[in-house]
């Protein structure tokens, strides 16, 4: 049995190591629009969710792009991305289509030098050897589920925090399983009508949300939440 002073299953004994997530959502709660495809990985209308961030100098610089603006959202992005030592993501976020890995030519959406610069653990049902990319990113493929991926990410992060990169199903699983400690929601004023939602649609037993801060960015308000998981969480003894 665990409580606020001990670690639930899948959690590090070091309380300083957090599992964090940041995600842009529409006003109706979608992080991707309908009809996702390799040509439109964020679905119809989904690219607009990220207009606020791709304009920032703080985003463009680590992605190898020049220019960009500095505004209230800049500090939010820097805070949300600082101190990350490893990332966990789902197969859909890594891409390459459903099923097996084919000829192995798919290496993600980010080119030869992805912007992570640390180990990235990809959830999949299909085994694959690790991919070492330029700039320090290594993609490792995990077939044992989300908890195993987070445990491996914690070990690889060497005391830094772990990010849940997406997609929607992976974020939902982390929330319901009590594995997520911090969530930034960037709420973009558009309506997508359908698509992928990162938040559970019903109540999560044992979950309390703490509003830590709200920042009024020019393209989206940013809401910082702490997630506290008490007894009664699914799977708790």
pLDDT tens by residue, 50-93? 999 999 999 998 888 999 999 999 999 999 999 999 999 999 89
Distance set, CA 178 to CA 53, 103, 148 (Å): 28, 36, 14
* Pairwise CA distance, residues 23 & 88, whole Å: 14
pLDDT tens by residue, 194-232? 999 999 988 899 999 999 999 999 999 999 999 998 875
CA torsion angle 87 93 94 95 (round to 10): 180
pLDDT tens by residue, 128-146? 999 999 999 999 999 999 9
Ordered domains of the chain (ranges, CATH): 19-87+145-152+160-229 (3.40.430.10)
pLDDT for res 232: 52
> Would you state the structure tokens that stand for residue 27, as one six-digit string?
């006003």
* Pairwise CA distance, residues 15 & 111, whole Å: 35
Q: Please check the confidence at residue 156 and state whether its pLDDT lies above 80.
A: yes
Tokens 């960009």 — which residue?
Answer: 68
pLDDT for res 132: 97
pLDDT for res 136: 95
Cα Dmax for the chain:
52
> Would you state the structure tokens that stand for residue 130, as one six-digit string?
């690790």
- C-alpha atoms less than 13 angstroms from C-alpha of 2 in its C-beta half-sphere: 19
């Amino acid at each position: 049995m665990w409580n606020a002073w001990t670690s639930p299953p899948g959690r590090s004994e070091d309380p300083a190591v957090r599992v964090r997530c940041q995600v842009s959502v529409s006003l109706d709660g979608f992080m991707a629009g309908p009809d996702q495809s390799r040509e439109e990985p964020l679905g119809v209308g989904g690219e607009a969710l990220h207009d606020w961030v791709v304009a920032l100098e703080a985003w463009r610089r680590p992605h190898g792009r020049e220019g960009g603006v500095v505004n209230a959202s800049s500090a939010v992005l820097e805070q949300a991305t600082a101190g990350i030592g490893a990332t966990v993501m789902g197969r859909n976020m890594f891409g390459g289509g459903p099923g097996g890995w084919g000829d192995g030519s798919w290496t993600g959406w980010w080119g030869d030098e992805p912007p992570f610069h640390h180990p990235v653990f990809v959830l999949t049902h299909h085994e694959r050897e690790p991919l070492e990319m330029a700039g320090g990113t290594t993609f490792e493929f995990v077939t044992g589920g989300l908890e195993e991926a987070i445990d491996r990410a914690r070990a690889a992060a060497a005391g830094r925090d772990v990010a849940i990169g997406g997609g929607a199903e992976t974020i939902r699983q982390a929330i319901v399983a009590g594995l997520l400690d911090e969530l930034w929601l960037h709420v973009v004023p558009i309506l997508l009508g359908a698509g992928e939602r990162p938040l559970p649609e019903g109540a999560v037993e044992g979950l309390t949300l703490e509003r830590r801060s709200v920042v009024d960015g020019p393209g989206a308000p940013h809401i910082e939440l702490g997630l506290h998981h008490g007894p009664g969480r699914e799977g708790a003894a």
